Chains A and B, each alone.
Chain A
């Protein structure tokens, strides 16, 4: 098998990288793909918690790199999808415990066994980021409709290009359509124009994300979650399906509701 590797990154913290990784990974597994998620946020790991797998961790990425265990021993199988695996970060170490060269080797090894290798990058542009982008084929940049997040996303896209990863895809997270319509929130078209990259998805703000994160069950598995639906669409787009962007869908749906007198 010759899989594809992605890094999910943002520069700015708190924009939803880990949530995105958990949801896209689960979505792709639901589509029947073999997926491995790598938490590169050594020292501040979260992906295991968001997936509800924290209590299964025995070995982690640092153990693999240092040769304390075999790679398969550190891979944790998801509770729901047997084709989804997690390689957790170490919590008691820091970013210097792994080197970009080691990450590159790891990626090559994993790509042989999986359709998708997805790396959850830490915030920042330092060593952790350098580790996270080592050996990946493509990048997905997550941002929120805030000037500061877009600024950081721009910086990150530049750094990715400098590392030879061009054509990053953009996910705009935590969008509130009502605010965008009133002009209180950055316009999606404007953001895509500033960043000059392809848009992979628009994820609406959704309280359900808080619930699903705390329960360790990705929103993509929750039917009533709007954000979950949007992540599901992103997963399908990654698989090559043509799925219209949510902004359009919602516009249509709103009209539909008006027509029937709901609101």
Chain B
């Protein structure tokens, strides 16, 4: 019964609920409701803290709220935290958390990475992929997607890449897009930054 989608485990602090990341969110939600219904009044008596393990699934605020509401139906339960185990990305400094995120893969169309600090990508960023950082963005490969550096308004943020051929660049609240007739980019690393209220691109030297 490994593929059931929803597994309850006990530990010292309370109960860990593992939600499979292989299933659609709605399916997992239904299974969770079923499981809780099956449990009857088992959870009703005392206060039990719940940790929800999500695997690689990412939830938006709406979905988190939906899950929390499901647990709320049982008076004894309260959700402590949501835990993501995304082994594709690893924090270089897990202690500070928001320093620099190192991504060791190529980002393909539709993939999106956002982080509170800087982002370094060891790989390329293809058209249709987006990278959003509150700090700087460095791409050690070809950059052809959308990047937003200084996403919370830091105008000092920069975006650099071995080959900078973006669809769109955003730094703080500035946006620039690629020209319609693509110029061939130089065979040289480049950096984008804000100068006189415009995003400009220069050779990366220093």
Contact = CB atoms under 8 A, between A and B. Distances in A.
Interface of A: 43-45, 52, 54-58, 79, 91-92, 96, 216
A42 to B, nearest CB: 10
Nearest to B176: A55
A52 B167 CA distance: 11
A92 B130 contact: yes
Contacts of A55: 167-168, 177-178, 180
The binding surface of chain A is classed by DSSP as loop
Which of B26, B130, B167, B178 has the most chain A CB atoms inside 10 A of its CB?
B167
Nearest to A43: B110
A203 B57 CA distance: 44
28 contacts: A43-B110, A44-B110, A45-B128, A52-B180, A54-B127, A54-B167, A55-B167, A55-B168, A55-B177, A55-B178, A55-B180, A56-B177, A57-B168, A58-B168, A58-B175, A79-B180, A91-B109, A91-B110, A91-B128, A91-B130, A92-B110, A92-B111, A92-B112, A92-B130, A96-B24, A96-B25, A96-B26, A216-B180
Interface string B64-105: 000000000000000000000000000000000000000000
Quick one: which of A45, A52, A92, A216 has the most chain B CB within 10 A? A92
A55 B168 CA distance: 6
A216 B127 CA distance: 15
B190 to A, nearest CB: 17
Nearest to B113: A92
Interface of B: 24-26, 109-112, 127-128, 130, 167-168, 175, 177-178, 180
B105 to A, nearest CB: 16
Contacts of A216: 180
A54 B180 CA distance: 10
Contacts of B180: 52, 55, 79, 216
Question: Which one of A44, A54, A56, A91 has the greatest number of beta carbons of chain B within 10 Å?
Answer: A91
Contacts of B110: 43-44, 91-92
Nearest to A79: B180
Contacts of A57: 168
A96 to B, nearest CB: 7
B184 to A, nearest CB: 16
B120 to A, nearest CB: 20
Enumerate the 5 nearest inter-chain pairs by beta-carbon distance, A residue then B residue, closest first: A55-B177, A92-B112, A55-B178, A55-B167, A91-B128
Nearest to B62: A66
A44 B110 CA distance: 8
Contacts of A56: 177
Contacts of B128: 45, 91
Given A45-B128, A54-B167, 16 more contacts: A43-B110, A44-B110, A52-B180, A54-B127, A55-B167, A55-B177, A56-B177, A57-B168, A58-B175, A91-B110, A91-B130, A92-B111, A92-B112, A92-B130, A96-B24, A96-B26
